[in-house]
Structure 1
Amino acid sequence: MARIGVISISDGRDHVHARNAGFIQSKQDALVSSLTAAGHEVVAGSGLVATNTLATSVAREVAAAGVDVTIFYYAVWSFPHFTMLAADATRSPLILVASTDPTEPGLVGMLAAGGALDQIGRTHTRLWGAPDDAELAESVGVEARAAAAVASLRGSTFGRFGGRPMGMNTAVANTDQWMRQFGVDVEEIDQYELVLRAEKADASEAAKARQWLETHAAGVHYDGKKLTPELLERQIRSYLAIRDIIAERDLDFSGIKGQPELTEHFATMDVTEAFLNDPYDWNGPKDVHVTATEADMDGALTMQLFHRITGTPVLFADVRHYHADRDIWDLCNSGQHATWFAARSEDPAENLAKVNLYPEVFFFPAGGASVQHIAAPGQMTLARLTRQAGEYRLQLMLGEFESYDDETNEALMRQSTPEWPHAFARLDAPGEVFLRNFGANHIHAVPGDVRAELRSAANLLGVRLDEWTRG
């Protein structure tokens, strides 16, 4: 949840404020109670704003608490210049909320303040309703979650292991633009560092992890060549190595190039990436560390935004094939499908019971295990940050992951690469619209409908929104 500031704006006439103060306070208390009940941390201003000096001092006080978003609350007619002064004293996103109690002109106060902010170009969101209205609390929550996610990007560091993979331009972003627009720094790390650390990683820990996978996975299909216990342990040691680097360099999210150097001469990063993105490993629960295959920078940024909104792992996949006869997409690639997506369970054993580790296919001579499963069915939000002529856009849609009987699942997988993970997705976007306009080969997804939060996040980031539906 988010940290929300609440500042109530009043009338500047002493005798009117004296009459209204109790009414304003009661409305503010009800709003604070409603937001707190919804799980948010609320920082209320120490006083009602009825003077120029209070507008500035109360806003600075709330801003100093590090709120993700600030509500200016209008229960009565309020002098608009108080809003202007308070807005100048805070840098967080603003929500103007009006009480709809008809006994006082709160809506008038909000509209006058909003118009004044429009005139100076200060963006804001406007909401209205009874202070204890659950729908209002949810609307505030949407804006607050988006604001918290966007704020969390600023000051963060992306760890980029390796450079551009296989000439993939969409995987490489401008580091200056990232810092200017998103506040994200990029730490460049050579993949050789990962190889050196993996060779020195704890062999007993790797053996323990291998045995855990052999016990809990649906199958570990050793073939004596492309997948051996030694190769699987090399992949696990790579996971241990990159976790050490993440801790040492204080990385917030990452991407691993992999191809072609590691996949030709060392091992694939499938196991490493899957468990970095999982909320657990063989030692129990842990934090998700968003990690993109092929060091896909815009993919990783999309994933980190998703993760900060939902708290869940985030799917990374190629848009592999469109089954036009079924109107479904096969989202499939070797790399990061976190095992959590197999059943989306809090219990790792339930997820791993649906996961097979297969020998890597001919694309990857170095071998290792591919982490294969079919993503569990359910409603999903799918999106990606892409660029057009250097400008970012968020391409967004709702969809549904589907799963079928064993025979159908197997037949669909065998039309592409059965050893890799698959998500069979029915998208709201028509096939021809998607294929003509989608700006990358990678796509990302989380469970549920979080389009409202992403719309708000796009607005806060200054990113164009391209949202597709069948309507």
Structure 2
Amino acid sequence: MARIGLISISDGREHVHRRNAEFIQSKQDALVRALRAAGHEVVVGDDLVADNVLATSVARGVAAADVDVTVLYYAVWSFPHFTMLAADATRSPLVLVASTDPTEPGLVGMLAAGGALDQIGRTHARAWGAPDDAALVERIGVQATASAAVRGLRGATFGRFGGRPMGMNTAVANTDQWQREFGIDVEEIDQYELVLRAERADPGEAKKAREWIERHAAGVHYDGAKLTPELLERQLRSYLAIRDIIAERNIDFSGIKGQPELTENFATMDVTEAFLNDPYDWNGPKEPHICATEADMDGALTMRLLNAVADTPVLFADVRHYHADRDIWDLCNSGQHATWFAARSADPAENLAQVNFYPEVFFFPAGGASVQHIAAPGQMTLGRLTREAGEYRLQLMLGEFENYDAATNKELVDQSTPEWPHAFARLDAPGEVFLSRFGANHIHAVPGDHRPAMRVVAEQLGIRLDEWTRQ
């Protein structure tokens, strides 16, 4: 959850403030309780703001706590210039919140303050309601969650293993633009480093991992050629290698080129990427490390933001096929779907029971395992950051993952590549709109409806929002 700063603004007349202070404090305390009950950390200003000196000093104190968003609270009529001074003392996004108790003109205070901020071009959001109103708390929470996601980009390092894969321009972003717009540094790492580290990785740990997979997976389908215990362990040693590199170089999120060098001469990175994105491995729970296949920079950036707002692993997939007769999309990638998506359970055994490890197909002569499953059903938020004429935009939609009986599932997967993972998605975006306008071959998804937070993310990043819904 996010860290929220809270400052209550009062009337500048001493005798009026003295009369109102207890009322303001009671409303503030109730709002703090509600926000904390929702799981947020709240940093409260050390005084009610009733003069110009306090407006600056209280705001500076809250800003020093490195909050994700600052709530300026209006329970009564409040002098607008206090808001202007407080706003100038903090760089965080602002949410102006008014109490709707009719006994005091909190709405008037918020509107006067908001209008003053408009005049100087200081962007802000507004919300109103009783302090314990669930809708108000959610609205503030959306703003704070989005702010935390955006702030989390600044100072982050992306580890790019390899360069542009197979001429895929949409997988490569301008590093200067990333630094300027998002505050992200890009660390370039040759894939040879991964190969060297994998060869030196602990064979005992790789064997332990392989045996754990064999115990829990629906099947590990060794064929003696494209998939052997030795090849699976090579993939698992690659996972160990990249974990070491991530730790040594303080990499926050990453992408692996893979094709064609690794996939033709070493092994696919499907197992490595799947378990990096999972919230567990054979040693127990862990934080997902966002990793995009084909070193897809904008894909990884989208995944990092979705992970921050949803607090779950993020799906990475190709838009493989549109079954127009069913109005269903087959989101299918060469094997990097996190195993968590198979059942979306906190218990890895429950997820792996739905996962098969199949020999890689003809595209990948080096072999290894593809991590195959059909994603569990449920509501999903889908989208991607894409670029048009060099400018970023967020393409966003709601959808539903669907699952069918065994015969239908087989019929559908057999039409494309059955050895790879699939998510059958019914999108809010009409097929004609999506295929005409979507700006990449890769798409990303998290469970639930997180569009409100992602809309705020786009606004705070200053990028265009393309949101698609059915009419």
1:339-358 alignment, distance < 5 Å: 339-358=339-358
Tell me if 1:304 matches 2:308. no
Tell me if 1:212 matches 2:212. yes
Partner of 1:90: 90
Partner of 1:56: 56
Partner of 2:285: 285
Residue identity in the other structure for 1:258: G
Aligned counterparts of 1:451 and 1:336: Cα–Cα separation in 2: 24
Residue identity in the other structure for 2:100: T
Report if the CA contact (8 A) 1:145-1:309 is conserved: yes
Partner of 1:410: 410
How many pairs align? 471
What secondary structure, in the 3-state scheme, does the structure 1 residue paired with 2:410 have?
A: helix
Residue identity in the other structure for 1:129: G
Residue identity in the other structure for 1:262: L
Q: Deviations over 1:254-286 (max 9, x none)?
A: 000000000010000000000000011111111
Residue identity in the other structure for 2:315: L
Residue identity in the other structure for 1:83: T
Partner of 2:125: 125
Tell me if 1:151 matches 2:155. no
Aligned counterparts of 1:29 and 1:333: Cα–Cα separation in 2: 50
Q: Deviations over 1:227-249 (max 9, x none)?
A: 11111110000000000000000
1:8-19 alignment, distance < 5 Å: 8-19=8-19
Partner of 1:423: 423
Partner of 2:173: 173
Aligned counterparts of 1:193 and 1:233: Cα–Cα separation in 2: 18
Report if the CA contact (8 A) 1:222-1:359 is conserved: yes
Partner of 1:239: 239
Aligned counterparts of 2:196 and 2:462: Cα–Cα separation in 1: 41
Aligned counterparts of 2:39 and 2:371: Cα–Cα separation in 1: 36
Report if the CA contact (8 A) 2:335-2:372 is conserved: no
Residue identity in the other structure for 1:109: G
1:326 CA drift (Å): 0.1
Q: CA RMSD in A?
A: 0.7
Residue identity in the other structure for 2:57: S
Aligned counterparts of 2:433 and 2:312: Cα–Cα separation in 1: 28
Aligned counterparts of 2:353 and 2:16: Cα–Cα separation in 1: 67
Aligned counterparts of 1:359 and 1:130: Cα–Cα separation in 2: 58
Residue identity in the other structure for 2:434: F
Partner of 1:65: 65
What secondary structure, in the 3-state scheme, does the structure 2 residue paired with 1:59 have?
A: helix
Stretches of structure 1 lacking an aligned partner (at least 5 in a row): none
Aligned counterparts of 2:104 and 2:353: Cα–Cα separation in 1: 60
Aligned counterparts of 2:416 and 2:393: Cα–Cα separation in 1: 30
Residue identity in the other structure for 1:419: E
Aligned counterparts of 1:284 and 1:108: Cα–Cα separation in 2: 53
Partner of 1:399: 399
Aligned counterparts of 2:15 and 2:317: Cα–Cα separation in 1: 63
Aligned counterparts of 2:187 and 2:47: Cα–Cα separation in 1: 44
Partner of 1:336: 336
Report if the CA contact (8 A) 2:356-2:372 is conserved: yes
Tell me if 1:195 matches 2:195. yes
Residue identity in the other structure for 1:39: G
Residue identity in the other structure for 1:319: V
Aligned counterparts of 1:393 and 1:111: Cα–Cα separation in 2: 31
Q: Deviations over 1:60-107 (max 9, x none)?
A: 000001111100001111111110110010011100000111111111
Report if the CA contact (8 A) 1:293-1:335 is conserved: no
Q: Deviations over 1:137-168 (max 9, x none)?
A: 11111111111111111111110000000000
Aligned counterparts of 2:342 and 2:20: Cα–Cα separation in 1: 56
Partner of 2:266: 266
Aligned counterparts of 1:106 and 1:176: Cα–Cα separation in 2: 45
Aligned counterparts of 2:345 and 2:132: Cα–Cα separation in 1: 34
Aligned counterparts of 2:22 and 2:70: Cα–Cα separation in 1: 22
1:310 CA drift (Å): 1.4
Partner of 2:367: 367
Q: Deviations over 1:402-430 (max 9, x none)?
A: 01010100010010000000000000000
Partner of 2:376: 376
Residue identity in the other structure for 1:214: E
Stretches of structure 2 lacking an aligned partner (at least 5 in a row): none
Structure 1 length as normaliser, TM-score?
Answer: 0.99
Report if the CA contact (8 A) 2:75-2:106 is conserved: yes
Runs of 4+ residues over 4 Å off in structure 1: none
1:463 CA drift (Å): 1.2
1:289 CA drift (Å): 0.2
Aligned counterparts of 2:50 and 2:333: Cα–Cα separation in 1: 59
What secondary structure, in the 3-state scheme, does the structure 2 residue paired with 1:173 have?
A: coil
1:215 CA drift (Å): 1.0
Residue identity in the other structure for 1:84: M
Aligned counterparts of 1:414 and 1:320: Cα–Cα separation in 2: 13
What secondary structure, in the 3-state scheme, does the structure 2 residue paired with 1:264 have?
A: helix
1:75-114 alignment, distance < 5 Å: 75-114=75-114
Report if the CA contact (8 A) 1:76-1:104 is conserved: yes
1:19 CA drift (Å): 1.3
1:335 CA drift (Å): 3.5
1:350 CA drift (Å): 0.6
Partner of 2:33: 33
Residue identity in the other structure for 2:260: P
1:316-331 alignment, distance < 5 Å: 316-331=316-331
Q: Deviations over 1:374-405 (max 9, x none)?
A: 00000000010000011110000000000101
What secondary structure, in the 3-state scheme, does the structure 2 residue paired with 1:153 have?
A: coil
What secondary structure, in the 3-state scheme, does the structure 1 residue paired with 2:224 have?
A: coil
Aligned counterparts of 1:323 and 1:356: Cα–Cα separation in 2: 24
Identity, in percent, stands at: 83
Report if the CA contact (8 A) 2:171-2:297 is conserved: yes
Aligned counterparts of 1:20 and 1:214: Cα–Cα separation in 2: 67
Aligned counterparts of 1:72 and 1:417: Cα–Cα separation in 2: 54
What secondary structure, in the 3-state scheme, does the structure 1 residue paired with 2:230 have?
A: helix
